[in-house]
Amino acid sequence: MEKNYMSFFSELNLSEKLNLWLAIVFLLFSNLIFSQTCSTTTVSPGTAILDNTTFNTTITVSSNVKITDVNITLDVTHTHNKDLDIFLVHPDGTRVEIITDKGGNGNGFNILFDDESINSLPGNGNGDVFIEDNYIPEDSFGLATFDGRMSSGDWVLEITDDAGSDIGVLNSVSLEICGNDPCTNGAIVGTITDYDPDADGINSLCDLDNDNDGILDANEGLCVTSYSGNFTALAPSLTSGDLDHDFVNVFGSGINLNILTSFNNVGGGVIAMGTNTLILGQDGTDSNDDTQNSSVEFVFSENVKLNNFIIGDIDVNDFQDEVNVVAYDQNGTLVQLDISFGSDLTYNSVLNRYSTPSGGALYDTPEHQLNISSDTHVKRIVVTNYLGNGGGFTNPGYQAIEFVSLDFCTVLDTDSDGTPDYLDTDSDNDGCFDAIEGSGNFTIDDLTPSNNLANGNEGAVNGEGVPTNTGSPQGVGTSATFTADAIPTLIITNPTAVCSPSTVDITVASVTAGSTSGTLTYWTNSAATSSLATPTAVGAGTYYIKLTATSGCYEVEPVVVTLSPAPTADAGSAASICAGDDFTASATA
């Protein structure tokens, strides 16, 4: 059958074309940036399938990737395939229906179940036998239900024979799982990316040292002071428009949190306060879910580390909601989020949305919750709800999604330059890099051109992103604590004034007495870029002495040389005297 794809594309409206192109671009970007690996686990239990009996087969998966695709191959011997109900269960309890009462009176099968198959399962009649070697699973959401979950653990194949007279054997089951390694997603050795700021090939979710100075992020103020609690209303109800911190108690953290709402003008929307929850809804009057994109934006007044942000009540009262969550840093760059979701939720990797096949859950039911965190700093979080309940929102108890609780902590930025200490190679801006200031006794000769201990192809890191030349993570280095000899101490005593036209030797020990050991050099400018030619004989003026420690760190201080003018002698008025007479002269300076 010939398909005219361009004709199909031309029939789409503008919104549909845009969504299609976005989906294509997303898929291409995902394949280019996030490398995918696949592995297959096979077990051959040879277990008997008995009449009116359910039994489970465990498939232990050791690889731990974030799932992008699951396929399963079943080799079954049975005298009446239609007797079988087969489910695949994820380690977190999520269940997917593979087949129920399918295959007619066929005698066994060896079939690959794959969401990408072009073959739909046959009907439920005795004559509807399997004729293909691959089919789409029976579950309406398919094996894609597992997308976004982690792969490792004990998977369970559940087989029920729900009739009598016919038995069989499970010969083997092969489970293929494709996914992205959560520790290397978006990380390319030698290339700085939003997910890997130190270009060491370990992304921020797993990297314990995101600037490769050998000091763990946890010791550089990644999480200084933590705050957590539920959203609590300070006003009884709210209407469409902006909702700021005047209406929400942010746990007394001292951080200003602005909460901004955006409602589309087609579906409308409402925001209200429930019991310890902030509620976002929309009336759902339009059938096009992509026009119903009401959102809530959480904007912090400073960078925070997101420990856990819980969004619940997804798909309450039997109406399906789709939720998208993204976060940004202070530069507007997307931040990688670590999102775990309840067993009743599914993830659409193309649209980056979470949803539930069926409703009826309460907001505090873990099966219908998202748990969101990030191991990098966050400035802004945007949550968008794409499907409404329909029927309007008459009270806070009838809503689309609820923001349940927020747990975050502040990050340290010692020099207030906008770069948190755990990403700053000189966090106190003292001119001595943190890698040198740490307790590992490193010197400037140990550093890469990026002023750390490893960067891209320069130096090596372990699986947790810590430079291997440290042996083990070194102690913290800040303006308050550092290796004693890393930063030199330069004490200057200005030399005593001398009479002009004499000169002064500023290299004598008395000028720098009390300073720590190191190499002294002499300069004409404070930046120490213009060398002083004759420091042993200088005239009046201000000069600069630079003391460099063995670590490579240095300090520059001024020295002031003062010259006093030579005295003037005055012997008084001229007078005549004879030879042999006495003469007395006096003089004043």
Query: In tens digits, what is the pLDDT along the chain, a chain of 589 residues?
Result: 233 333 333 444 444 444 444 444 333 334 434 467 899 999 999 999 998 899 999 999 998 888 999 999 999 999 889 999 999 999 988 889 999 999 888 888 999 999 999 999 998 888 888 888 999 999 878 898 898 888 999 999 999 998 888 888 999 999 999 998 878 877 888 888 877 888 888 888 788 999 999 999 888 888 887 777 666 544 444 333 333 333 444 444 556 666 666 655 444 444 554 545 565 655 444 344 444 566 778 888 778 888 889 887 665 444 566 788 999 988 888 888 888 888 878 887 777 888 765 555 455 578 878 899 988 889 899 888 775 444 333 333 334 577 777 888 888 888 888 788 888 999 888 888 899 888 788 888 888 888 899 877 677 888 888 998 877 788 775 443 444 456 788 999 999 988 888 899 999 999 999 998 889 999 999 989 999 999 999 999 999 999 988 778 888 999 999 988 766 666 666 666 677 667 666 655 5
Which of 536, 446, 535, 521 minimizes the C-alpha distance to 488?
A: 521
Q: Return the structure tokens found at 352.
A: 């980056």
Burial class (CB in 10 A: 0-12, 13-18, 19+), 578: exposed
| 414 in Cβ contact with 432 (< 8 Å) | no
C-alpha–C-alpha distance, residues 70 and 72, integer Å: 7
Q: Return the structure tokens found at 297.
A: 């934006």
C-alpha–C-alpha distance, residues 306 and 299, integer Å: 12
Q: CA angle, corner 324, sides to 321 and 327, nearest 5?
A: 155
Q: Hey, what CATH class is 227-410 in?
A: mainly beta
| 128 in Cβ contact with 122 (< 8 Å) | yes
Helical (H) or strand (E) element with 25: helix 14-33
C-alpha–C-alpha distance, residues 49 and 53, integer Å: 7
Q: Return the structure tokens found at 100.
A: 């129920």
- Domain positions in the chain are 1-33, 38-180, 227-410, 498-564
Q: Hey, what CATH class is 38-180 in?
A: mainly beta
Given the structure tokens 């927020």, which residue do they identify? 406
Percent of residues in the chain assigned helix, strand, coil, to nearest 5: 10, 35, 55
Q: Answer positive or negative: Cα dihedral of 116, 118, 124, 130.
A: negative
Chain-centroid distance of CA 215 in Å reads: 18
Q: Return the structure tokens found at 37.
A: 């690996």
Beta-carbon-side half-sphere exposure of residue 316 (alpha carbons within 13 Å): 22
Q: CA angle, corner 67, sides to 65 and 69, nearest 5?
A: 130
Where would I find the beta strands (DSSP E) of 18-143?
A: 37-43, 47-49, 53-61, 66-78, 84-89, 95-100, 109-113, 134-135
Write the DSSP string, 314-347. TT-TT---EEEEEEE-TTS-B---EEEE-TT-EE
C-alpha–C-alpha distance, residues 425 and 435, integer Å: 7
Strands 277-281 vs 248-249: parallel, antiparallel or unpaired: unpaired
